[in-house]
Amino acid sequence: MVMKQREITLAALGLLLLWQLAALIVQRPILPGPSTVLLIFVRELGNDLLLHFGASLWRVTAGMALSVLIAAPAGIVIGASPRWNRLVSPIIYLLYPIPKVVLVPIVLLFLGVGDRAKIALIFLILFFQILVLVRDQAVGIPPQLIQSLRSIGAGRRALFRFVYLPASLPAILTALRQSIGTAVAVLYVTELFATKYGLGYYIYYNGSTLLNYPAMYAGVIAMAILGFGMYVVVDWLERRWCAWKFAS
Amino acid sequence: MIHVHQITFGYTPTSPLFEGFTWDVARGEMWAILGPSGCGKTTLLMLLAGLRFPTAGQISIEGRPIHRPRPGTGLILQDYGLLPWATVRQNVELGLRIRALYGPDGKHAPKESLTENRAPYWIDRLGLTEVAERYPSQISGGQRQRTAIARTLVLQPDLLLMDEPFSSLDAVTCHDLQHLTLSLCQEQGITLIVVTHAIEEALALGQKILLLGAPPNRQARIFENPRAGQGQIDRRLHNQLWEEMKRQGHSVASP
Ligand SMILES: Nc1ncnc2c1ncn2[C@@H]1O[C@H](COP(=O)(O)OP(=O)(O)O)[C@@H](O)[C@H]1O
Ligand SMILES: [Mg+2]
């Protein structure tokens, strides 16, 4: 689902227009108009907002990187070996559907309230998604392809490099894209607890402690930019690494 | 060159596809393996390619028993043989890149490494220059098969195994590629073994035809076809093979 730039710009303008209309109709401080918020957003960037954004970006990126590095190879190993697949798949089947948000309190108990717990939660959300998609991808690789490569000398290393890795890339990127929404949501939840940095904290603090609504909305915008930016990066990587998917 | 000696093989021990099967191929011969679906043609190629191993007996090529894929053997499977995420050029160079990955270790790649990159030559020779930067999904079936052939020839094989190589192509493309395959093999001194379920194709390609029937195959039934590759088909042999296959056909399990 790669979008065109012009369409996205138009959609963004449309949304801003709707927001402005809603603000004019509601006429209350809890819904300031976009112009007010954008002004505050720029001003807050000069204050601490960039710092909060950076903290959130680090947590979500670290969690994603960790999950790709661990789940993708694991998915390949499981998918490429029927024996491992038989052994592990029932376990995945049980754990996969659990909404990972329910693990928030448990992970916080075990890993404390620092960055480690937040990164671990993002990791957990993405891990199963990537594991399952990469495994299914590896299972679906036609045996004829493997045999062709083995006949020209490919062993395990060459199969990984020339078959499983390139075959998994689209699955990894799809898993990332599917999980961005949940990852950002869980990030928000974890940042409500005992931290002084992160967009979750920033939004909550401005909204319910300082009652600074324009700043709160500036935080929401920053969060939206974080999520949207990740979509853009994933799309960009897909066009770069999976060009063959778009060739027809 | 190839010596298949008293081999037994089956995916399940109770229903062997081959039992005490013996067959010999001399260097430079052009063979077709003919038989109905499910008789074990692809399986025999896998055994020759060193991707499966007989439970009894032995296969040796150039005097060496086969324990793993042999660098001098090229294998072309019907579909799926090309990497969908690699361009024609990258697919043709794949064998070289795999060898570069391992180095000349004498296991994955021969001890003596190939001295030059013959990929551009074969891409050009097989008429693939214009599509060299395209992906397999963007080229015709005939071009895909040419790509597979180029990839194999780059590695300078002395034995080429092909599984139903032209069965999904239109008649003209099929005829062209049959002709091309024969002339390239003759020119490069490659021994050719082509699997097919079509009598016409066996007659067009195989100077000798190995007819397989309902498993288990015990005896190699061989038909001489000196007129292969000369553009006309031996009618009498065609009818004879037809009768043989019809007689066997009823007892072959459906695939
Ligand atoms: N990987 C496999 N596992 C189990 N049975 C197989 C496998 N491959 C082929 N067979 C069976 O072995 C028989 C011969 O298959 P194959 O050699 O592919 O026949 P052909 O190529 O002549 O159509 C068929 O009955 C087929 O179902
Ligand atoms: Mg077959």
Of B15, B41, B43, the one to substitute when testing ligand 1's pocket (max ligand atoms within 8 A of C-beta) is: B43
Predicted confidence at residue A104, as pLDDT, reads: 83
- Which residue's entry shows tokens 């979750």? A200
In this complex, how many residue pairs, one in chain A and one in chain B, have their CB atoms less than 8 Å apart?
84
Asked if the structure places residue A66 within a domain, the reply is: yes
**pLDDT above 50 (res B198):** yes
DSSP 8-state assignment for residue B39 = S
**Which residues make up the environment of ion ligand 2, defined by Cβ < 5 Å?**
B 42
**pLDDT above 90 (res B186):** yes
Asked if the structure places residue A32 within a domain, the reply is: no
How confident is the prediction for chain A on average, in pLDDT?
A: 91
* Mean pLDDT, rounded, for B114-131: 89
DSSP string across A114-151: SHHHHHHHHHHHHHHHHHHHHHHHHHTS-HHHHHHHHH
pLDDT confidence band for B227 (50 / 70 / 90): confident
Asked if the structure places residue A127 within a domain, the reply is: yes
Could you tell me if the CB of B17 is within 6 A of ligand 1? yes
Question: In this predicted model, what pLDDT tens digit does every residue of B68-81 receive, in sequence order?
Answer: 999 899 999 987 68
Q: Chain A 189-248, CB below 8 Å of chain B: which residues?
A: 242-244, 247-248
Q: Under a CB-based contact definition with an 8 Å cutoff, are residues B223 and B202 in contact? A: no
Could you tell me if the CB of B104 is within 6 A of ligand 1? no
**pLDDT above 80 (res B250):** no
- Please tell me whether residue A3 adopts helix, strand or coil conformation: coil
Asked if the structure places residue A228 within a domain, the reply is: yes
Query: Residue A219 is part of a domain; what is its CATH number?
Result: 1.10.3720.10
Asked if the structure places residue A179 within a domain, the reply is: yes
Strand segments (E) across chain B: 2-9, 18-25, 30-34, 56-61, 64-65, 73-76, 159-163, 191-196, 208-211, 221-224
CA of A123 to the centre of ligand 1 (A): 43
Q: Residue A154 is part of which domain span?
A: 50-246
* Mean pLDDT, rounded, for B102-125: 81
Distance CA B44, CA A230 (A): 51
A3-7, A21-25, A54-58, A162-166: range with lowest mean pLDDT: A3-7
Cβ separation of B69 and A150 shorter than 8 Å? yes
Asked if the structure places residue A45 within a domain, the reply is: no
Contact with chain B for residue A155, Cβ under 8 A: yes
Could you tell me if the CB of B35 is within 6 A of ligand 1? yes
The percent of residues in chain A predicted with pLDDT above 70, rounded, is 99
Asked if the structure places residue A20 within a domain, the reply is: no
Question: In this predicted model, what pLDDT tens digit does every residue of A118-160 receive, in sequence order?
Answer: 999 899 989 999 999 999 999 999 999 999 999 988 999 999 9
Q: How many domains does chain A have?
A: 1
Predicted confidence at residue B148, as pLDDT, reads: 94
Distance CA B23, CA B75 (A): 19
Predicted confidence at residue A176, as pLDDT, reads: 92
**Ligand index nearest the alpha carbon of residue B212:** 1
Q: Which residues contact A91 (CB under 8 A, 6 or more apart)?
A: none
Question: In this predicted model, what pLDDT tens digit does every residue of A37-46 receive, in sequence order?
Answer: 999 999 999 8
Asked if the structure places residue A11 within a domain, the reply is: no
Predicted confidence at residue B115, as pLDDT, reads: 64
Could you report the predicted ipTM of this complex, rounded to two decimals? 0.87
**pLDDT above 50 (res A55):** yes
List CB contacts (< 8 A) between A149 and chain B: 94, 98
Could you tell me if the CB of B157 is within 6 A of ligand 1? no
